[in-house]
Structure 1
Amino acid sequence: MFKRGLAILLFLAAWFSAVAAYELQPSHVAVVYNGKSILSRRMAVEYARVRGVPERNLIALDCPQVNEISRKEFDDLIRLPLLKSAREQKWWVSSGISSSPMMDRKIFVLLLMSDLPMKIRHEQPVPPPGKDINQMKTDRASVDSELALLAFDGYERQSWLANPYFNKREDFVGSGLPTFLVCRMDGLTAATCMRLVTEPAAVEKKGLWGWAVVDRGGP
């Protein structure tokens, strides 16, 4: 009976350890901000403080404060500097296996702060409308979407790519996918941006309290 109970305890301990290993932790998040923007830097520093993200995970980029950039600007000012930080901090180890190229991952999430470019513009002529012509076959893209493939190079940059994590049920950390979760904090005003950083954490600790109005009108 004792041995059986001990075996159950060891099994539960191993199970909880595996679950904890797959949980997304503050150390798994890289907070990316625009070093030219006071607001962007403030947001990054405050987010790291509130969420417990290690200071080494704060990555400053030297970007213009514009909404849209060229593909070359994206590579030179965003993608390549992030890859440099990834190599220096060993965000992952290359496995040499095409189906699972990343081992010993440290970073799974790229959190982009305000005042970073959002779009990569298409600079080649768009094909004219016509039969069997795909009007979406351009290299315009979302900066956030492109950064999900930060660890890849040479992938097709024309038209759409399927998201390998779409409709998956397993935890992202344990999924083994060689992509990043990318999200962005931004708002219309500096005050709104800072509220996005601080208020969700406060609500998680204290709960959500207040008044709501329910409209029961209608047909």
Structure 2
Amino acid sequence: MNTAYTKSSLLSLFLVMSVFFSLPNLVLALTPDQVVVIANTRANDSLSLAKYYMQQRAIPAENLIKIRTTWKESCNRQQYQEDIAEPAKKAVQKLQQNKRIRCLVTMYGVPLKIRAPVLDLDDEEQVKQLKKQIRQEQEKLKAAQKIEHSQLKNLIDSLKLQIKLLQQTDTRAAVDSELALVLTDTYPLENWLPNPYFLGFQRQKTFLQRDTVLMVSRLDGPTPDIVRRIIDDSIAVEQKGLQGKAYFDARWARPDPQKKLSGYALYDAAIHKAAELVKQERAMEVLLNDKSALFTAGDCPEAALYCGWYSLSKYIDAFTWVQGAVGFHIASGECATLKQEKSQGWCKRMLEQGVAATIGPVYEPYVQAFPLPDLFFSKLTEGYLTLGETYLISLPFLSWQMVLIGDPLYQPFSPEMIGNSQPTPSKTERNSTL
């Protein structure tokens, strides 16, 4: 996974990490009438699953948006704009005349990702010639003297950037991540945009305004039966609270807390911190692996929570998932497909094996685009936030690659069951924040 920074420096993010957990509980009180469900009438089971979910969660019937588009997992930008974004925007704006809409749920059968544009013949030929030139410069680099290395590397990087601009790969995105901005009139499609709800950006001005951003979650999976199981498990677990063990799979020993970190090191340290915070928050067994080797088969029975990295598109069957389990694996493209039978991507395989919620990117996201593990798991286990709200405040970027799969109303932990016995805020306090 590339750790390059392509649009916005995350220096400000690192500077405010120390204040994340001193902030008051942010309870947005997402309610069923604020949730809009999007179903694709051209996809088998999409509409029936949408109606089932809405019935189980008491979501008003008028909060259903029916679209008609491709049933394939990917679509082009025109299909997204005309078939998905425009009808969704009109329907949400109409609903908002009488109520506040804060969350969209894309159902099984709604495309998962937006492709880059197809190149014309001239651009294809130009890309071909640039690739040929890169190979030539790489051969020169092998034989060059050390003093020439820097100049040749800069030239190669420049040629790669030209290819990237021609192919417009940075306009690729998750459908859900773009839908979060469906109420935003205009914004750049290249690369990402900082999420104004992300706690790490609370002290800086962002291009996007909060009142134009919606939380988006997806009820999807390899089969309709799995989607129905996600819905049923989420509701069932809320009655008793999520029970089981938490597993965190770092790769290195925890670094000096005074050391400034970025990229992989920052996220590895965040996994360590997540384990510590969950242990403080909940009376559940927490197991942290800080060795270079990942968890292996049989290592993780009764898994309720999980975060780890880095097994690229190769799920490791180390887990026995309990009902309602939540977790994600930090690696590129782990949500590139939920339907391809032979795929071993973590999102697809975790859903097949029993999790109720997971997170992953549809294309290369860069590591810093993932939700911060310590922020995500600490806020989830506090119990005040739903799954959708937790994801929203822990996700750094929008108009990008990340997808949340799960019921956004899912609240797996009750505040009354907090391990450190923090008092439950009053209803007034809960509704007064954000």
What TM-score results when the alignment is normalised by the length of structure 1?
0.70
Deviates further, 192-201 or 132-141: 132-141
Is residue 109 from structure 1 mapped to residue 141 from structure 2 by the alignment? Answer: no
User: Which of 38, 41, 46 is equivalent to 2:47?
Assistant: 41
CA 87–177 in structure 1, closer or farther in 2 if over 3 Å, else same: closer
How far, CA to CA, are the matches of 2:80 and 2:56 in structure 1? 29
Alignment of 1:64 onto 2:91: no
Give the Cα separation in 2 of the matches to 1:156 and 1:46: 36
Offset from partner CA, 1:128-159 (integer Å, 9 cap, x none): 56328274863111111110111112210112
**Residue 161 of structure 1: aligned partner:** 193
CA apart distance, 1:177: 3.8
> By how many angstroms is 1:71 displaced?
0.7
Corresponding residue SS for 2:84 = helix
Q: CA deviation at 1:208?
A: 5.3
Deviation string 1:61-100 (CA, Å, 9 cap, x unpaired) is 11111011111111110011112212332x26xxxxxxxx
Which shows bigger deviation, 120-129 or 189-198? 120-129
2:113 alignment partner, one of 119, 127, 131: 119
Matched, 1:88 2:122: no
Q: Which structure 2 segments of 5+ residues have no match? A: 1-24, 131-155, 203-208, 246-299, 303-434
Preserved contact between residue 43 and residue 197 of structure 1 (Cα < 8 Å): no
Q: 1:155 to 1:169 in 2, by over 3 A?
A: closer
Alignment pair present for 1:140 and 2:172:
yes
Worse-superposed segment, 121-130 or 36-45: 121-130
**Residue of 181, 202, 213 corresponding to 2:236:** 202
Q: Deviations over 1:22-63 (max 9, x none)?
A: 411111100111112341112211111111111110111111
Greater CA deviation, 145-154 or 204-213? Answer: 204-213
SS in 2 for 1:64: coil
Using a 3 Å threshold, how does the CA distance of structure 1 residues 213 and 86 change in structure 2: closer, same or farther?
Answer: closer
| Separation in structure 1 between the aligned mates of residue 113 and residue 81 of structure 2, nearest angstrom | 13
Pairwise CA distance, 1:206: 4.2
* SS of equivalent residue, structure 2 residue 181: coil
After the TM superposition, which segments of 4 or more aligned residues of structure 1 sit over 6 Å from their partners?
Answer: 209-212
Provide the rounded CA distance (Å) in 1 between the counterparts of 2:240 and 2:190: 46
1:114-134 Cα distance to aligned partner (Å, 9 max, x none): 111011111154875632827
Given residue 109 of structure 2, which amino acid in structure 1 is its aligned partner? D
- Unpaired runs of at least 5, structure 1: 1-18, 93-103, 215-219
Q: How far did residue 186 of structure 1 move?
A: 1.0
Query: Which residue pairs with 1:7 in the alignment?
Result: none
CA distance in 2 between counterparts of 1:130 and 1:74 reads 32
For these two proteins, the number of residue pairs brought into alignment is 179
Partner of 1:31: 37
Identity of aligned residues (%): 30
Higher RCO by CA contacts (8 Å cutoff, separation 6 or greater): 1
**Aligned with 1:131 (options 149, 152, 158):** 158
Q: 2: CA distance between counterparts of 1:169 and 1:86?
A: 27
Offset, 1:106 = 1.1
Quick one: distance in 2 between partners of 1:140 and 1:165? 22
**1:69–1:121 Cα contact (<8 Å) kept:** yes
